[in-house]
Amino acid sequence: MMKHTIILIIFATLWTCHDAIDTLKPGDTLNSTSSLVSALGKFTLKFITKPVGNSEMSFLAILRIKTEANKAWIANPHSPVLPSSSPILTLDFNNTLKITHQNGQPFILSAPNTTSSTSVVATLLDSGNFVLQEVSPVNGSTIRILWQSFDYPMDTFLPGMKLGVDHINEHVWSLLSWGSRDNPVSSGPFSLDWDTNAHQLKIKKSGVIYWTSGVFADGRFEYILPDVSKQRYNFSIVSNQNEDYLTYTSLDDPNDPEPEWVLYTRGALYEYGAQVDIIRAQNCDGYNTVGGCVRRDRPSDCVGKLGDDFEIKKGYFKIINSANASRPANWIGTGTEDCKVTCWQNCDCLGFDFPFGNQTTGAGCRFWSVDCAFIEDLSTATYSFVVPNSVTLPPKSPDSPPRGKINATDKGLWIGTSIAALLVIGFCICILCYRLRGTKFMLSAGKNGTKIQKKLLKFMKSERPTDHVIATENDHGNIIRHPDLSIFTYESVLAATSNFSEANKLGQGGFGPVYKGKLATGR
């Protein structure tokens, strides 16, 4: 009995050694019942099955060797195969690394051009990187990397991976979320990218920036919590003419699990090892800027734009277009949504107020559409939130009555003032007509014309006092008198200009026509 037990142990040991290989050589294969295991037993490469629609499909995956491990990398996310088609990973004698199966064309991972004098192997490293490399036939040392899984990340950022750009071949390293939590076939909307200009991490949704890590200083990023970043990772930023990227390593604390950053479908960046959130980009609603969230621009036909903030004003909203049946003029919030966020994301929203006095949640918000205008009223105690650059009527004077309402006293005052003004104007016209009738002069030359000319000379005597002449004011309000000013009556001016005849007209300026006048002296 003891002899048989020893034999079984030896066979089990031999089987384990054979199964726990980390390298494929030309001609080797890996089927759905076998796997590669990294040298120190940290990662495994094997075929897994996941439900896609109503069928189970096979994927070639890399994951840590632990319970409920994250699928750190998948070779064929968009080309799954049926398990019944017997998928096989092969490194053929042409050094082509591929997945073959019975129901279709092979899926090529790499088909490099190599010389016959070198050896090519595919090895799973303890970092989780699966590399196709040329090695020395003498000592097995690496000559060059032909292909590696780290160049094609999925939704997981492992230590040693890169996020950035290879400037030589314009290859981009970035994370892309899955289409759903358990389905890698379709890509999700979120990506994690490295901004090579600002040297910041950015989470984007369909290309639109939702979150940024902030600047890197003192070993950590501004908007990645200190207890998550500084105490667990060593970040490195490499920037030169060939490449620009961010990478990190673990601090190798034996009490800490190995780190794995996973970008989930809804935008959360999750530390799978420590089981903590790094950032939840889905909480970046496009309006708040807390924790690295980025305020997003509204659609091009919206009033408010990127960088705007709601204006808090006293007043009320008034409907100015009630004929639009495509949307309500106002509506009440339905739940606990943030009022600013809801209004900012709705291009029809002009602003909101709180008719029920609840300003802590969205419940009770009353939103107003762009079919309204906001009327400022400084006398009210009610505050409203208004989208900038929207239709806002100017504030009313505190002493003026409401628009459209004039009391009887004010009405009588306006009527009385108008009648008095008309009477004064009529009296002035009568006096002017009387003076013109009382003046007798001839427009032609003769005895009467000479008489009027002499009258004009009388008014031009320099010794005639002019203290009664109205003085003028300068721009500073100071009174300026003119002691050498000569004055003329209207009759004398008519005589000098021959009744403002066209023959005496010199031209016309901004204050009217200009005439020359001839005195009796010939001047």
Q: Model confidence at 513, in pLDDT bands (50, 70, 90)? A: confident
CA–CA separation, 27 vs 357, rounded Å? 76
Pick the range with the lowest mean pLDDT from 133-137, 141-145, 275-279: 275-279
Q: Model confidence at 276, in pLDDT bands (50, 70, 90)? A: confident
pLDDT at 296 over 90: no
Measured CA distances, 95 to 29, 89, 98, 148 (Å): 12, 12, 10, 14
User: Once rounded to an integer, what is the mean pLDDT over residues 307-311?
Assistant: 68
- 257 vs 178: which has the higher pLDDT: 178
pLDDT at 502 over 90: no
Q: Do residues 492 and 452 touch, judged by C-beta distance below 8 A?
A: yes
pLDDT at 14 over 50: no
Q: Model confidence at 30, in pLDDT bands (50, 70, 90)? A: very high
CATH class of residue range 18-149: mainly beta
Residues facing 372 on adjacent strands = 319
Q: Model confidence at 8, in pLDDT bands (50, 70, 90)? A: very low
Residues facing 329 on adjacent strands = none
Q: Model confidence at 335, in pLDDT bands (50, 70, 90)? A: low
pLDDT at 12 over 50: no
User: Counting Cβ atoms within 10 Å, is residue 333 exposed (0-12), middle (13-18) or buried (19+)?
Assistant: buried
Ordered alpha helix ranges (H), 398-460: 408-438, 447-459
Pick the range with the lowest mean pLDDT from 207-216, 266-275, 427-436: 427-436
* Confidence (pLDDT) at 403: 42
Of 1, 113, 106, 92, the residue nearest 60 (C-alpha) = 106
User: Once rounded to an integer, what is the mean pLDDT over residues 278-300?
Assistant: 77
Residues facing 187 on adjacent strands = 178
Q: Cβ of 384: how many Cβ atoms within 10 Å?
A: 24
Measured CA distances, 223 to 202, 213, 217, 248 (Å): 11, 5, 11, 17
Looking only at Cα atoms, what is the longest distance across the chain?
A: 165
Determine phi and psi for 430, rounding to 5 degrees.
-65, -45
Q: Do residues 325 and 361 touch, judged by C-beta distance below 8 A?
A: no
Question: H or E stretch including 53?
Answer: none
Which two tokens mark 326?
């495509």
Instruction: For the chain, give the percent of residues with pLDDT over 90.
Output: 34
User: Once rounded to an integer, what is the mean pLDDT over residues 263-278?
Assistant: 88
pLDDT in tens, 183-209: 888 888 999 999 999 999 999 988 889
Q: Model confidence at 167, in pLDDT bands (50, 70, 90)? A: very high
User: Once rounded to an integer, what is the mean pLDDT over residues 247-271?
Assistant: 85
Which two tokens mark 413?
């005052």
Ordered by start, the domain boundaries in the chain are 18-149, 153-295, 300-388, 490-522
CA–CA separation, 464 vs 488, rounded Å? 11
* Confidence (pLDDT) at 312: 84
- 367 vs 287: which has the higher pLDDT: 367
Q: Do residues 228 and 278 touch, judged by C-beta distance below 8 A?
A: yes
- 30 vs 5: which has the higher pLDDT: 30
pLDDT at 212 over 90: yes
* Average pLDDT of every residue of the chain: 77
- 376 vs 362: which has the higher pLDDT: 376
Pick the range with the lowest mean pLDDT from 61-75, 87-101, 292-306, 365-379: 292-306
